[in-house]
Amino acid sequence: MRSLTFWLKLVLVLGLLLVVVAGAAATVTATSSDLPPDEVVVRLRPQVSITTITARYNATEVGRLIENNVYFLKLPVGSTAVDLLPVLNSDADLFYAELNYYDDALPTGSQRYISGHGKFPVVEQRYISGHNVFLDANQNYTNTSGTPSGSDRWAWDAIGLADARQISTGQGVIVAVLDSGLVAAHPLLNSNLIAGYDFVGMTNQIYDFGNNLDDDGDGRIDEGTGHGTHISGIIVSAAPGVQIMPIRVLNSDGVGTYWEVAAGIRFAVDHGAKVINLSLSAPRLPPSLQEALDYAVAHGVIVVAAAGAGPGPNYPAAYSHPLILGIGASDRGDVSASFSGGQAVDNKVYAPGVDIYSSYPYNEYVYGSGTSMASAIVAAEAALLRSRYPEWTASQVNQRITSQVVPVSGTLPGRVDLAAALSTGLEVRYQLGDNGSPNDANLKPRLQIINNTAITIPLSELQLRYWYTNEDNKPQSFSCDYSAIGCGSLTNSFVNLAVPRGGADAYLEVGFPASAGAVLPGKSSGEFVLRINKTDWSNYSETNDYSYDATKLVYTAWPQVTLYQTGQLVWGLEPSGALPTPTATQTSTSLPPAVTPTSTALPTATKTPTPTLTPTPTRTPTPTLTPTSGAGGCAVTYTLNQWSTNFAADVKITNNGATTINGWTLTWSFANGQQVTSMWNATVTQSGANVTASNPAGHWNGMIGANGGTVPFGFQATYSDVNARPTNFTLNGVACQ
């Protein structure tokens, strides 16, 4: 079913339903009798059998969430969930019982809400020509065809997508799209799909194929999967290397239950999704949905949710958990879009949500507007980051998204900047070259330079330093066993330190001539297999060398091999102590013959999405300043987000001293029995009431700059009645404010 031009604006909020009949401007108003009176969700206590509960209430099991003992039940004829709910909630064998629909009073305002099937409702605001495809979050769609012109790529240009895509394509990341299903054969999507699931009616039929049949069994022929198709297309356009896992939780009317969404979240987590996009919202957060969100977060999955169009709070976006990202929509002027709703808690960050070009059934493309579209853009950003920086935690990814933003007029959070988020500068990856031989006659580091920026960087601007100890200060020679750009394109020098540092009294510096080429955006220099030995072939003792790490058996980002650009430290930490003073220089000729210089690419997708973007590589990496050691006065900011008997604390340490702190330990004690359960950005341990958070020198989050430098970390914990802020923080033994 298609319409050449249509304009639908719909809002997804729980408990209401609107049906538009195709080809006619008509609505069917549902009545209270359409609510599912015999559906209930219960959570069993441990050791309680579901057969005990179904027998007790003569109910039938429809579905289950095994991990937390939650069941979806259908009550017998004549029983209603509303009447039975007080009995169920007083049952000692149950933690809770809840309705499977929203049953609060209808909201008021200028929008026309129509009470419906007790699931995710839809609100019509305006349409041109009838169409039975329902979409969420205040959508505005206009059909088109072909590739958008330059002015219509405004959203991609605003967020720096061309630059971001030079750094990452999202390769290898699974993004679960919990939505209305999608058209699997659409040319933008057909090579980016993996198996999903249909929780609408539990039929596991995700797709309507456009074959004049009711494939998904919901009584409609070829009904629109337009919303899920459009959302998935946005994600693939921005991150063409991802795999989309379509999980259908909304029917053709944009209607779904809490159970379906909760079950969909758990399915996504259990089947490898690293990002979940929820372009949907509802006015409350029942226990089953909250537990599903907690389950995702506990498994390191990033959850991105549309802020919706209603006044809010709109869930899941409004869930106060710090790792749930609620997304508002901004327009071409970086102003909050007129339809973007919710309260402050709903909007963790903004993204473009007006006139976003993407796929639509069946082989078409349309421009769509809504917080749904904004959410999809941020889900794509999360996938780009997870692919490029797989060692980052979900908390680190979320922090990167919310910190790398540009201002949005009239709002506190900013609008995402994908180019800034993806561009983290240069890094060095290290691999041990002589496994099991720390006391032989060779040092064998293997190194790569990675360009995490959108600009081309000449190798001639770069210098690598490998720090070690040269026992007896004997003469040494350098060899290149392999270089991706040819061993003849490497220069080398040995430098002895006037004052030894921790784990080093010398370093090897490797440089590059002007003919060596460059490291391309988002690419690697390729491998450098190096070898150092003493001219008398006596042994080294590498175990305590600063740059040596016997655990690095595969290439790993390693800050203890430092990198300099035009003499400025841009990656890593030098060993503590005095600055290096050259005392002698030796140069030897590399042994193997040179080869033609090349640049080795990191994994990228082979599929070119529509539209083609023109990169604008104008950004330059920000140099990292050389740290010095020391400590000073400190302050601790402790921000709580509480729910039920759990809480998350975001902690920021500020160094007010005049010297940089390399390696830190923060201690405090809880006064009310709080117990840490998980943490991020630091190692957090607890013994009784006493808690210690720490990061060593050399850790990416282990240095606190002087004169106001900060580091963040956080943790999740449980509490009972009182959750007071600790007041006895000490940093490296010094009391903090």
Q: What is the pLDDT of residue 101?
A: 62
* Domain edge (last residue) among 516, 537, 571: 571
User: What domain range is 674 assigned to?
Assistant: 634-735
User: Does 331 qualify as catalytic in the annotation?
Assistant: no
Is 403 among the catalytic positions? no
CB atoms within 10 A of CB 74: 18
Asked if residue 392 and residue 452 are part of one domain, the reply reads no
Q: Select which of 38, 163, 179, 208 is catalytic.
A: 179
- Angle, to 10 degrees, between the axis of helix 371-388 and the axis of helix 226-238? 40
**What per-residue confidence (pLDDT) applies to 642?**
66
In a domain, 235, yes or no: yes
Residue 17 falls within a domain, yes or no?
no
pTM over 0.85: no
pLDDT at 292: 94
Q: How many domains does the chain have?
A: 4
Q: Are residues 446 and 356 in the same domain?
A: no
Q: Which residue among 422, 452, 471 closes a domain?
A: 422
Question: pLDDT tens digit string along 131-174?
Answer: 222 233 344 555 555 455 555 689 999 999 999 999 999 999 99
Q: Are residues 242 and 211 in the same domain?
A: yes
Whether residue 415 sits in one domain with residue 490: no
Does any domain span residue 592? no
CATH at 705: 2.60.40.290
The pLDDT value recorded for residue 253 is: 63
Q: Same structural domain for residues 703 and 717?
A: yes
Is 540 a domain residue?
Answer: yes
DSSP 161-184: HHHHHHH---TT-EEEEEES---T
- Is there a domain that residue 606 lies in? no
Percent of the chain scored above 70 by pLDDT?
A: 75
Q: Which of 556, 571, 586 lies at the terminal end of a domain, its last residue?
A: 571
The pair of three-digit structure tokens given for residue 28, joined into one six-digit string: 């069917």
Do 266 and 389 reside in the same domain of the chain? yes
Does 86 share its domain with 171?
Answer: no
Q: Indicate which CATH number applies to the domain containing 540.
A: 2.60.40.710
Looking at residue 250, what is its pLDDT? 82
| pLDDT for the residue numbered 719 | 86
Instruction: Characterize 579-612 residue by residue with b for buried, 16 or more Cβ atoms within 10 angstroms of its Cβ, and e for exposed.
Output: ebeeeeeeeeebeeeeeebebeebebbeeebbbe
| Residues 129/73, Cβ–Cβ less than 8 Å | no
SS3 623: coil
Give me the residues paired with residue 141 across strands.
368
Q: Are residues 490 and 638 in the same domain?
A: no
Buried b (16+ CB within 10 A) or exposed e, 248-279: bbbbbbbbbbbbbbbbbbbbbbeeebbbbbbb
Catalytic residue of the set 227, 230, 321, 699: 227
The catalytic residue among 281, 336, 372, 489 is: 372
Two structure tokens written together for 236: 């693939």
- Is 116 contained in some domain? no
Sign of the C-alpha dihedral, residues 262, 264, 268, 270? positive
**Same-domain pairing of 231 and 317:** yes
Q: What is the Cα–Cα distance from 427 to 431, expressed in whole angstroms?
A: 14
Q: Is 83 a catalytic residue?
A: no
* pLDDT for the residue numbered 186: 92
- The token duo for 505 is 């009294």
Residue 447 lies in a domain: yes
CATH number of the domain encompassing residue 80: 3.30.70.80
Assess whether 660 and 544 both reside in one domain: no
What is the model's pLDDT at position 471? 87
In a domain, 27, yes or no: no
Do residue 93 and residue 153 come from a single domain? Answer: no
Same domain, 365 and 275: yes
Question: Three-state DSSP class for 341?
Answer: coil
Query: Regarding beta strands 462-468 and 561-565, do their DSSP bridges make them parallel or antiparallel, or are they unpaired?
Result: antiparallel
CATH of the domain at 212: 3.40.50.200
Would you give the DSSP letter of residue 557? E
pLDDT of residue 578: 37
**Consecutive sets of 10 residues in the chain, 737 residues long: mean pLDDT of each?**
25 24 24 59 93 95 83 90 92 91 34 21 22 34 52 88 96 95 91 90 47 54 70 96 93 76 94 96 87 94 91 86 91 90 84 92 86 96 97 94 89 89 96 89 97 96 97 93 96 95 95 97 96 95 95 94 95 72 35 32 33 36 32 78 72 88 93 81 86 84 81 81 87 90
DSSP per residue, 268-303 = HHHTT-SEEEE---BS---HHHHHHHHHHHHTT-EE
